[in-house]
């Protein structure tokens, strides 16, 4: 089948059973990984990017050729760069200097203008805090006004969770034959967890958020300590699993070594949480999670240092 554009390749990623990790750790139950790291922009954010732009064009909120602006840790920006390049919209990605440089290079290669915002005083490179994100949001708001642009607004816009409610979640449910008992996801914008909850919750699947155990952590793309996450406002979570930066790192490496799946920090955090769930409240069940992005986006970080 020949697709009309790369946008049509967004979705339909494989669901893989992690039997080698299960057996290595002696777990009771099943671990299922949704490989959204294989999407065109190497992250699950491609789904939200496509939905946001297509919805805005359909409603008239985004005019033909109008500039799009969005704050990003790099993944949403990459997805938007891809979609905007195909549909003819200039795209401006606004990102903290604390994010890995691979992300900015990839967005620029896809035609985006990348505006890097200095981190807050006392911040550490590679660790983006809530204070850093607030500075990025301020810059994105200013640029949106100055350019007469459309703001993609992944933290508040309804298209983000809807992409996962109508795409990610039904795919996981159908691919698993309706066998999953729990789903967990690292909380960034909350779109994946919120959207999947709308579809999977009524089917009896228990939903868990995944969060860093400390404010200072290397898991880019989330854990900002934001008090309001609109996409999770009406979500009934079974609980939240906290994960250390060390455990996220080690489980990203475990995913690569034992299953050949090259994911990033958040994928490691999700795997760590899924393992904890199978050891605890979900023992004997089937826990699914998303491999949120590719390990290629972390080659300049400590994720793969001495990983052999």
Q: Is 19 a catalytic residue?
A: no
Query: Which strands form 239-243's sheet, in the order they lie side by side?
Result: 15-17, 30-34, 286-290, 182-186, 206-212, 239-243
Contact call for residues 288 and 15 (beta carbons, < 8 A) = yes
Measure Cα distances from 219 to 105, 222, 223, 253 in Å: 19, 7, 8, 14
34, 43, 44, 45: which is the annotated catalytic residue? 45
Residues 6 or more apart whose CB falls under 8 angstroms from that of 306 comprise: none
Closest CA to 297 of 219, 209, 186: 219
Measure Cα distances from 87 to 10, 63, 64, 90, 157 in Å: 14, 11, 9, 9, 20
What angle (nearest 5°) sits at the alpha carbon of residue 307, between those of residues 303 and 308? 165
Contact call for residues 144 and 123 (beta carbons, < 8 A) = no
What span, in angstroms and rounded, lies between the C-alpha atoms of 237 and 273? 14
Q: Is 266 a catalytic residue?
A: yes
73, 176, 266, 294: which is the annotated catalytic residue? 266
What span, in angstroms and rounded, lies between the C-alpha atoms of 242 and 257? 23
First to last CA, the chain: 39
Task: Please identify every residue annotated as catalytic.
Answer: 45, 266
């Amino acid at each position: 089948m020949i697709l009309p554009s790369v946008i049509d390749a967004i979705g339909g990623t494989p669901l893989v059973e992690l039997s080698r990790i299960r057996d290595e750790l002696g777990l009771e139950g099943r671990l299922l990984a949704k490989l959204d790291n294989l999407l065109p922009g190497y992250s699950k954010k491609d789904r939200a990017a496509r939905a946001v732009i297509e919805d805005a064009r359909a409603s008239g909120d985004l005019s033909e050729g109008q500039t799009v602006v969005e704050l990003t840790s790099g993944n949403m920006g990459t997805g938007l760069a891809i979609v905007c390049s195909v549909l003819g919209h200039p795209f401006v990605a606004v990102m903290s200097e604390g994010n890995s440089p691979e992300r900015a290079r990839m967005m620029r290669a896809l035609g985006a203008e990348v505006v890097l915002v200095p981190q807050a005083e006392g911040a550490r490179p590679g660790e983006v805090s809530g204070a850093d994100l607030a500075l990025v949001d301020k810059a994105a708001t200013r640029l949106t006004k100055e350019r007469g642009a459309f703001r993609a607004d992944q933290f508040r816009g309804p298209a983000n969770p809807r992409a996962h409610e109508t795409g990610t979640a039904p795919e996981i449910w159908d691919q698993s034959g309706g066998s999953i008992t729990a789903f967990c996801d690292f909380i960034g914008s909350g779109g994946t967890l919120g959207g999947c909850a709308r579809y999977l919750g009524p089917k009896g699947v228990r939903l868990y958020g995944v969060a860093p155990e400390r404010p200072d952590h290397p898991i880019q793309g989330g854990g900002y300590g934001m008090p309001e996450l609109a996409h999770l406002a009406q979500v009934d979570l079974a609980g939240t699993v906290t994960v250390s930066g060390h455990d996220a790192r080690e489980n990203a490496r475990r995913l690569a070594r034992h299953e050949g799946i090259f994911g990033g920090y958040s994928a490691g955090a999700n795997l760590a949480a899924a393992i904890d769930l199978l050891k605890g409240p979900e023992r004997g069940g089937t826990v699914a999670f998303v491999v949120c992005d590719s390990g290629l986006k972390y080659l300049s970080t400590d994720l793969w240092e001495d990983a052999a």
